[in-house]
Structure 1
Amino acid sequence: MASDTASPRQMPQAEAAPSAPKGLGRRRYRRRLRSRIILSFALLGLGLTAMFAIAAAYVGAVVEDQAVGTVLKENLDDYAERFYQDQTAQLSPLGSVRAYVFGPDKWHNAQADWIPLESGVYNMNGIEDGEPFVYRLVVKKDPDYWFFVAQDMTSTAEVRARIKLILIAAVVLFTVLAGIIGWWSASRVMRPVSELANLLGASDDSARPVALAPHFPDDEVGELATALDDYAARLTEVVQRDREFNADVSHELRTPLAVIKGAVELLLSRPGLDDKTLARLQRIQRAEAQCTDLISALLLLSRAERGHGNTDVYRVAEQLLEAHRPQLGAKALELCLEGEPGRLVVDAPEAAVSVALGNLIGNAVKYTTAGTVVVRLHERAVDVIDSGPGLSAEDAAHLFERGYRGSHAEHTHGGGIGLSIVRRLCRLYQWRVRVVPGAERGVVATLRFDVEGDEAGTG
């Protein structure tokens, strides 16, 4: 593990913390699904009514233009025909319709914006008495005479504007109505899913899962409930087998360990033991104690049960360091303990604390060939500081994965499951474990207790 000289914020670190509260993501996703259903209905209503309104306005405008233009053109043709028959005939004003005719010597008398127009129907704008108005103009230009028929469309334009407002109001109204229908439909659709989620939540604390399928009809939700029942049954069977196996193994292992413990105690009580025999018996005694603690911790993990107790972390750390001192061999390594007895007391079995802290101390001793390993107690946490090769970015990313062995583990023994057990214990007891590079070299492993009372993100 190469040393890291980056700043503390850039240093690689590995951390295992309590998982998020159960059901939070599920409830958030369910709200999103309901919102999507409501939004889909609202968008559908908006799209359909908007297209209908646009089509209605367009068709109405086209039909009106064609109808009015055709009528005006027919009137103009009729007027031109009667004018050629009797040039003294005049078209009597009819409501808002006006007719004009200009001969060869009178073309300049026509309105300026009419002169360049070719024969056809036009929508025009004008100003009369300072007020703007719109009108439709029909032009017929013969070689000898120019004919014009104009109809005031101001009132028609106002009607069109009111129709547009009515159509916009209809679009808004139908969109809101579609949203209300979507909300009602989403509630009806999501109600079985919510009931299914509530039943699943109610079965969290039960040893056997509650059957879900009988509570739902034979529809899609019923099929989902049946599939969940089948999955829960298979999962319960696996968990039950795992618990029975752990309990059986723990029970069967405790008997030979008790025999070993009794035999070692009897041998240690004999006088006249030489130093080599005494050291070996003490090593067997420490190994028996470690196995007993590990079995107790694994049994707690298999049952997902929090044990209780008043464990003095100082005393546990002292015992762990004493157990490692005879194993140092030729290593120029100093094991130190900083703190006071009774300062840090944890509400947990001694076996759980011993396994969690023992793995951190064991890793520090294993990877440090020379220097120091310091166990430092704080008010609510304990640090294990070593002067080893440090922590690489790859190790930090996979440190707590089961079966992972660090980049400096080639010449060491172990299966890479120690820190994964520490992580599981931290999840069970709501502790936090973090491993970061040291200030200059080595690694600092922190085991922090009572994380539930801390702010999120603290180590």
Structure 2
Amino acid sequence: MRRQWSIRARVAITIGVLGLALGSTFSYTLMQIAERYEHVILRTVLAAEADSAKEDIADGRVPRMPHTAHLEGWLVPDMASAKLPEALRGLRPGIHEYRVGNGEEPHVGVFAAPNGMLVYRIDIGQIEELEEALQFWLWMLVLLSAGVTTAIGWWLAGRAVGPVDALAKAVATLPLEPAPTALAANLPSDGLGRLAGAIDHYQLRLAEAATAQKIFFANASHELRTPITALRGAVEVLLDDPSVSVPQRRRLQRLERSVTHLHWLLDALIWIARGPGEAESLSFKSQVEAAVDRLAPRLSHRGVVLDITCGDGELVAAPRRWLETMLLNLLRAVVDQRPPGPLPLHCSEGSLRLGDEVQHWMPSRSDQGIGITMVERMAAVLGWRVRCGLDVRQLFSVELDTRSKPAEWS
């Protein structure tokens, strides 16, 4: 997969490349100017020597030709004279540069005189060495400037994208429940400010939608509770009638269990609509035992016996009524899926498992008949996780993990 560079890295590299290009252009231009300046000085020096010799010739004097370690001169009748070194013979008037066997590059000036040709050879090896040193240090300066500009680009890019990172962190730490935000309050009215404003507006719409949903759930739950309560009362009255036959009593008991199930689901829906409220430090074992007591008739009917393994010191931070409703619906869902017999219930380190060790996790869907959608929703609000699966005997098991992340309650 192709690696994606961060904006900060791309900006830093771009500025570094730009610094390298500008530094290289500056160094090349400076070397060209130095080379040009060298030729101007050489032409001036050699022309001055030739003009002095021409004046001597014009005055009838024999010009004194230089013969030093760095400057030599010859007055010859023509450029084919044997007095000239072989490398200088045949040169035309002007300034010339050539390479000798030892690698040096002396410069030669050829000038026409009244009675022959004036030839000067000047060795500027020391100047050439200085030019090479200058070129070396210029390229070192180019590399250094590229590194410095890259570092400056990295710093500037960090300063530029800092507000973006801060906005990203602020969005990442938003609560699970939608709530109005003011991310754009401390940002300028540029593109970043408009982005933060759009997030604020979106959060406001989410909060309004969540509030409307809670109001709907609360109203719907209360409206449904009235007929369910009436139905439950009618079933209880019929069960108290001694004239009811055994088959009818069984049907009424089944209807009573279904009404109780629906009542617990409505409780869950109401609590979801209201919100979790304030958390308490609760004993896992006490809450489980209370839920088991309320579920005793269903356990007896299903022939399920709970084998509870839960230490007295196991604590969980949660709203009391939320945890009660979650445990009731969770126990009911597992009991209805299990055959008669023992049902292990194990809680430790903030985790509750109903059933044996899960061998195969599976997604929870409403069409599977498990009936823990409300519990999953309540757990998600608290930042918990509910998972269901099959144990080694292919029996249904559920795990409630309260350690996923800290809950954020409104």
TM-score normalised according to structure 1 size: 0.59
The alignment status of 1:445 with 2:402, answered yes or no, reads no
Q: Does structure 1 conserve the Cα–Cα contact (< 8 Å) formed by 2:70 and 2:123?
A: yes
The alignment status of 1:48 with 2:24, answered yes or no, reads no
* Counterpart in the other structure of 1:313: 288
SS in 1 for 2:387: strand
1:60-209 aligned at under 5 Å gives the runs 60-65=30-35, 68=38, 75=46, 91-93=65-67, 96-98=70-72, 121-122=97-98, 126=102, 135-138=104-107, 149-158=121-130, 160-162=132-134, 164-165=136-137, 168-169=140-141, 172=144, 176=148, 179-180=151-152, 183=155, 187=159, 190-191=162-163, 194=166, 209=180
Q: Does structure 2 conserve the Cα–Cα contact (< 8 Å) formed by 1:268 and 1:281?
A: yes
Q: Does structure 2 conserve the Cα–Cα contact (< 8 Å) formed by 1:135 and 1:150?
A: no
Q: Does structure 2 conserve the Cα–Cα contact (< 8 Å) formed by 1:121 and 1:139?
A: yes
Unaligned runs of at least 5 residues, structure 1: 1-31, 127-133, 328-333, 366-370, 455-459
Change (3 A) 1:99 1:282: farther
Q: Does structure 2 conserve the Cα–Cα contact (< 8 Å) formed by 1:315 and 1:341?
A: no
1:359 to 316, 330, 333: 333
In structure 1, distance between residues paired with 2:394 and 2:12: 60
Change (3 A) 1:104 1:180: closer
Aligned length: 368
In structure 2, distance between residues paired with 1:325 and 1:244: 38
* Counterpart in the other structure of 1:434: 387
Q: Following TM superposition, by how much is the alpha carbon of 1:279 offset from its aligned partner in structure 2, in angstroms?
A: 1.8
Q: Following TM superposition, by how much is the alpha carbon of 1:244 offset from its aligned partner in structure 2, in angstroms?
A: 0.7
Change (3 A) 1:372 1:70: farther
Change (3 A) 1:56 1:125: farther
SS in 1 for 2:241: coil
Q: Following TM superposition, by how much is the alpha carbon of 1:442 offset from its aligned partner in structure 2, in angstroms?
A: 1.6
Q: Percent identity?
A: 20
1:255-334 aligned at under 5 Å gives the runs 255-305=226-276, 312-313=287-288, 316=291, 323=298
Q: Counterpart of 1:280 in structure 2: which amino acid?
A: R
In structure 2, distance between residues paired with 1:67 and 1:424: 83
Q: Does structure 1 conserve the Cα–Cα contact (< 8 Å) formed by 2:310 and 2:346?
A: no
- Measured on the aligned residues, the alpha-carbon RMSD in Å equals 5.3
Q: Following TM superposition, by how much is the alpha carbon of 1:239 offset from its aligned partner in structure 2, in angstroms?
A: 1.3
Q: Counterpart of 2:346 in structure 1: which amino acid?
A: H
1:367-406 aligned at under 5 Å gives the runs 375-380=343-348, 381-385=352-356, 396=362, 399-400=363-364, 405=367
The alignment status of 1:57 with 2:57, answered yes or no, reads no
In structure 2, distance between residues paired with 1:36 and 1:258: 62
Q: Counterpart of 2:270 in structure 1: which amino acid?
A: L
Change (3 A) 1:40 1:319: same
Q: Following TM superposition, by how much is the alpha carbon of 1:222 offset from its aligned partner in structure 2, in angstroms?
A: 4.3
Q: Does structure 2 conserve the Cα–Cα contact (< 8 Å) formed by 1:433 and 1:445?
A: no
* Counterpart in the other structure of 1:220: 191
Q: Counterpart of 2:330 in structure 1: which amino acid?
A: A
Q: Does structure 2 conserve the Cα–Cα contact (< 8 Å) formed by 1:41 and 1:181?
A: yes
Q: Following TM superposition, by how much is the alpha carbon of 1:312 offset from its aligned partner in structure 2, in angstroms?
A: 3.8
Q: Following TM superposition, by how much is the alpha carbon of 1:351 offset from its aligned partner in structure 2, in angstroms?
A: 1.7
Structure number with the bigger relative contact order (C-alpha 8 A, sep ≥ 6) is 1
Change (3 A) 1:195 1:432: closer
* Counterpart in the other structure of 1:339: 308
